[in-house]
Chains A and B, each alone.
Chain A
Amino acid sequence: MSPWGSWFFKIIRTLGSISVTMVGLLFITFIIGRVMPIDPVISIVGERATKAMYDAAYLDLGLDKPVIVQFFYYLADVLRGDFGVSYLNARPVIDDIRRVFPATLELATLGTLFGVFIGVPLGVIAAVKRDTWIDQIARVIALVGYSMPIFWLGMIALLVFYGMLGWVGGPGRVGIFYVDLVPPVTGMILIDSALDGQWDVFRDAITHIILPASLLGYYSLAYISRMTRSFMLEQLNAEYITTARVKGLSEWAVVWRHAFGNIKVQLITVIALSYAGLLEGSVLTEIIFSWPGIGSYITTALLSADMNAVLGGTVVVGLVFVCLNVFSDLLYSQFDPRAK
């Protein structure tokens, strides 16, 4: 079979795999949304609905039909992008999500970049200088990152760096004077303001994003540095490293060209997982920083029992999760010559 042919099949298989997982995911959200609450109608129309509204919603939800049929209706809706209407603002959930998701993406992307550019070199150095003070510091950094509640650290960071020192912007994505000044192209203010040439907005956005992004970045670098160190230690014990040294290579070449070259592919998976983790971590961070992303969208919806919004958000984040995992698997098999 030609290489294009086998590539084609791989894509089909991957799409199939994603589909099965997504159907399962949707089934679970369906169960959470319809089957679990004591009265799913109430969770949609609210407790003060009239009997007419209740009955209308009951039929509209198809609750008189068997569960499986209900699920297929739900599936059809989701595939059309219809997550229902938000109870809070009576707008389609999908529109809300489209509005808030880029904010989270911006935060998670910046945080992951932070985590990668600091975490990877830290992990490599910690492995090469094993058991020295650098290694111990890296370990402490990671340990703290695994043990500290992110919302608490965020609160304290905001208190210190904004409340006491005034070094960074306060809650929200931009200061009050800059809201809605930039036409949303991607939804990410940093990119949009740069595209539009509004550099004062850009600067202001930076002061607002830097603290939450650094916070997420810290957690990302804790994980990434630990994994990098672990991978590097594994490689540095391998025979081919001895071979490289026998050839007379400099230590720099041994560490970066040979050992690091062998972990690049594993790191892709780690970075994808870290990104996914930051999407999740944003839920609690966004509340602290009043960041209008999908995290605060879901939690606000949750506290108002707006099931459509909660489930819609869950499905979208779940979809991104699944795609990230699959994407990293694909990259892995593309770049590791042994897996081909």
Chain B
Amino acid sequence: MSSLRNWLITDTPTSRRHAQLASFYHGWLEFKANRLALLGLVILCLLVLIAALAPWIAPHSPFSQDLGNRLQPLGSDEHLLGTDSLGRDLLSRLIYGSRITLYIVALVALIAPIAGLFVGTVAGYVGGWTDTILMRITDIFLAFPRLILALAFVAALGAGIENAVLAISLTAWPPYARIARAETLSIRRSDYISAVKLQGAGALRIITKHIWPLCIASLIVRITLDMAGIILAAAGLGFLGLGARPPSPEWGAMIAEGRKFILDFWWVATVPGLAIFTVSLAFNLLGDGLRDVLDPKSNK
């Protein structure tokens, strides 16, 4: 094992793959030193595990109602976190709800940055009218208040989890386009791009093989930092009843259900909120940690 470590921290890599692994390891060491960021990563890994193993770890079905056992408090016999107004086990609903959260987050995290990457790099590389028009479109989308625009989209498309994902993605992509464009502009003028062009590389090759890899770092940092906002937006939509349809155990919708009873049965609405808070917090910590490692210019 120590020889593997020595191989990874060497000053003289023997191949490109070796150098990449070594720099990844260095980044990992630096990231690890930030204990809060590590905590964020652990929480998120737990989330993925819980979502994956939901059918095995949830004590009950998230949908089975038990009207004789409505609104049981925390720490009840069968129900660790109590039950909601229809007698459904809150813990199980929470666990299955993590799947929905992860689903939304994963989809948006794929759609928005990729769309933004395309728009931004094409705009930055081609320049001219294409750039102006694409950036105008980006600015128009940026000019909209995100949640309200997402609401308007869902109003038109109808409620549902896929529509919610689409609506959030439509409002989330502009910042990535801006980032990608900024990176493209600064890279486009550099000497090594000129060198590659002289060797006969076409625009497509330059964009995909040279510009995209360099944008990835900033995009990753931005995605993780945006994640919290995306989760909160999804929860907001769920709270308004515009996300996953009932009886889906979506965390935002659970808060809305529990709201009616909050005076006497406060845990029904509080517990899902804590879950949302924890996951958002984890993403923020992770994002901060990643930014400190990947973006040396940032002020800690």
Do chains A and B directly touch (beta carbons under 8 Å) in the complex? yes
Instruction: Pick from B147, B148, B151, B277 the residue with the most CB of A within 10 Å.
Output: B148
A311 touches B (CB below 8 Å): yes
Choose the segment among A70-78, A185-193, A296-304 that binds chain B (4+ C-beta atoms closer than 8 Å): A296-304
Once A28-B140, A143-B285, A149-B276 are accepted as A-B contacts, the answer to whether A279 and B145 lie under 8 Å apart by CB is yes
Choose the segment among A30-38, A88-96, A176-184, A200-208 that binds chain B (4+ C-beta atoms closer than 8 Å): A30-38
B259 nearest CB neighbor, chain A only: A155
B130 touches A (CB below 8 Å): no
Give the number of residues in B that approach A within 8 Å (Cβ atoms): 45
A20 touches B (CB below 8 Å): yes
B144 nearest CB neighbor, chain A only: A318
B157 nearest CB neighbor, chain A only: A36
Q: Which of B255, B281, B285 contacts A152 (CB 8 A)?
A: B255
B96 touches A (CB below 8 Å): no
Residues in B whose Cβ lies below 8 Å from that of A322 = 143
Residues in A whose Cβ lies below 8 Å from that of B147 = 280-281, 283-284
Contact between A276 and B263, CB atoms less than 8 A apart: no
Contact between A151 and B236, CB atoms less than 8 A apart: yes
Choose the segment among B113-121, B173-181, B265-273 that binds chain A (4+ C-beta atoms closer than 8 Å): B265-273
Contact between B284 and A146, CB atoms less than 8 A apart: yes
Contact between A147 and B284, CB atoms less than 8 A apart: yes
Complex CA–CA separation, A313 to B152 (angstroms): 10
Complex CA–CA separation, A313 to B280 (angstroms): 29
A37 nearest CB neighbor, chain B only: B156
Contact between B155 and A21, CB atoms less than 8 A apart: no
Once A147-B277, A159-B262, A159-B266 are accepted as A-B contacts, the answer to whether A314 and B149 lie under 8 Å apart by CB is yes
Complex CA–CA separation, A28 to B145 (angstroms): 13
Contact between A149 and B273, CB atoms less than 8 A apart: yes
Chain A, residues 111-142, CB within 8 Å of chain B (1/0): the string is: 00000000000000000000000000000000
Residues in B whose Cβ lies below 8 Å from that of A147 = 228, 232, 277, 280-281, 283-284
Contact between B266 and A283, CB atoms less than 8 A apart: no
Chain A, residues 256-284, CB within 8 Å of chain B (1/0): the string is: 00000000000000000000100111011
Contact between A313 and B240, CB atoms less than 8 A apart: no
Residues in A whose Cβ lies below 8 Å from that of B269 = 152, 155
A317 touches B (CB below 8 Å): yes
Residues in B whose Cβ lies below 8 Å from that of A305 = 155
Q: B149: shortest Cβ distance to chain A, in Å? A: 7
Contact between A280 and B263, CB atoms less than 8 A apart: no
Q: Which of A230, A279, A298 contacts B151 (CB 8 A)?
A: A298
B299 touches A (CB below 8 Å): yes
Interface residues of A in 154-174 (CB under 8 A from B): 155-156, 159, 163
A197 touches B (CB below 8 Å): no
Q: Which of A24, A234, A279 contacts B299 (CB 8 A)?
A: A234
Interface residues of B in 135-159 (CB under 8 A from A): 136-137, 139-141, 143-149, 151-157
Q: Which 9 A-B pairs have the closest CB atoms?
A: A24-B140, A152-B273, A147-B280, A36-B156, A280-B145, A147-B281, A233-B299, A32-B156, A302-B155
23 contacts between A and B (CB under 8 A): A24-B136, A25-B144, A28-B140, A28-B141, A32-B153, A36-B153, A143-B285, A147-B232, A147-B281, A147-B284, A149-B236, A149-B239, A150-B232, A151-B255, A153-B273, A156-B273, A279-B145, A299-B151, A302-B152, A302-B155, A303-B241, A313-B148, A318-B145
